[in-house]
Amino acid sequence: MYLDDIQDRINKIEDVRDLRIIQQFLKDRRNYLGSRMKYKLSIGDNVYVTGNNGKESGVIVKINRTRAVVDIENQRWTVPFSMITLAREEK
């Protein structure tokens, strides 16, 4: 699997500056994918939110500029798009 190859290559990096570059790239990529997610979402969509509590299912209540309001077990959370996965896209 290619993820194992990526991990092996990262483990071989000896320069902290290179790791910082990779970290910034990953942050930018996560933000890009999150911004794309915004245009896939609609109010009423069933979604999964991945966070500190693991993966929780919820429903989109509102879509803001950078985050969505998600109803999870009758509590509303403002969640960044990068933490949201559409339930219908889940495999």
- HSE on the CB side for 35, CA within 13 Å? 5
Please state the domain extents for the chain: 2-89
Q: Of 87, 83, 73, nearest to 45 (Cα)?
A: 87
CA 22 to chain centre: 17
pLDDT higher than 80, residue 90? no
Strand partners, 62: 69
d(C-alpha 69, C-alpha 73), whole Å: 13
- pLDDT tens by residue, 17-75: 999 999 999 999 988 988 898 999 999 999 999 988 899 999 999 999 989 999 999 99
Q: Of 90, 87, 83, nearest to 52 (Cα)?
A: 83
Which class is domain 2-89? Answer: mainly beta
Confidence at residue 23, expressed as pLDDT on a 0 to 100 scale = 96
